[in-house]
Amino acid sequence: MNFREISRNGLWDQNIVLSQILGMCPTMAVTTSGTNGLGMGLATTAVLVCSNMLISSVRAFVSPQVRIPVYIVLIATLVTLVDMSLNAWMHDLYRVLGLFIALIVVNCAVLGRAEAFASRSGVLASALDGLFMGLGFTASLTVIGLIRELIGAGTLFAQASLLLGPAFAFLEIKVLPNYGGMLMMILPPAGFLVLGLLLALRRLFELRAAARTTPATAVPDAVAGCH
């Protein structure tokens, strides 16, 4: 599998949220704003890259009978390190995401990539797979969060400085200054609504792309002569 295939699979063809429909817990619960979605996505990306590299490195020394418990222990260790790092250096963001960071351990996407790709591929390819799978996951969570935040509060990337530092405070935009907000958009049902909309748009895009690439059916000469 080459670089182009790995990147396309992670960002689009096998997108964790929009194609595989995995990681629904953070997708529904954390995406109340674009900042939360971005933070959760970046944390998951870090775990995906490190876990894929680590599992690819030890795959030759792990018995197939115990591979899943070993993978879970390694992933849990990495998640603990990410959790402690957020608590130490981004405490305000940790207070929002703390519970869901720990749940990365049971995120089917992380264990799924370990089993489906990292356990069968080299370290570099596994690292790239984790990176692009994580970026695709991050993009999906961020887009869902931005849509919910815009309709729910009339803002974009609220409190982005907590995640990216004071230099990125310019991302915090009040799009609708006098907008009272829609409470439903920050509740879990809105996550399902927005995800369903994005899945429908993705399906529509794929159908139109397939229609453009499919050659038109040739008209037989006998039928053409009747017109």
Over residues 20-49, the pLDDT tens digits come to: 999 898 899 889 999 999 989 999 999 999
Average pLDDT of span 61-70: 92
pLDDT value at residue 186 = 85
Supply the range of the domain harboring residue 29: 3-213
78 located within any domain: yes
CA 216-221-227 angle, 5° bins: 90
45 located within any domain: yes
Residue 223: pLDDT band (50, 70, 90) is very low
pLDDT value at residue 221 = 52
11 located within any domain: yes
pLDDT at 217 over 60: no
Average pLDDT of span 92-116: 86
Q: What is the SS3 assignment for 70?
A: helix
Residues 6+ apart with CB under 8 A from 150: 156, 175, 176
46 located within any domain: yes
224 located within any domain: no
pLDDT averaged over the chain?
89
Average pLDDT of span 104-108: 87
In DSSP terms, 155 is beta-bridged to 174
* Alpha carbon distance 36, 131 (integer Å): 19
pTM of the model: 0.89
pLDDT value at residue 216 = 56
10 located within any domain: yes
Digit-coded pLDDT (tens) for 175-185:
988 887 888 89
Average pLDDT of span 172-196: 89
- The gap between the terminal CA atoms of the chain, to the nearest Å, is 50
CA 135-141-147 angle, 5° bins: 135
pLDDT value at residue 98 = 73
Number of separate domains in the chain: 1
226 located within any domain: no
227 located within any domain: no
pLDDT at 165 over 90: no
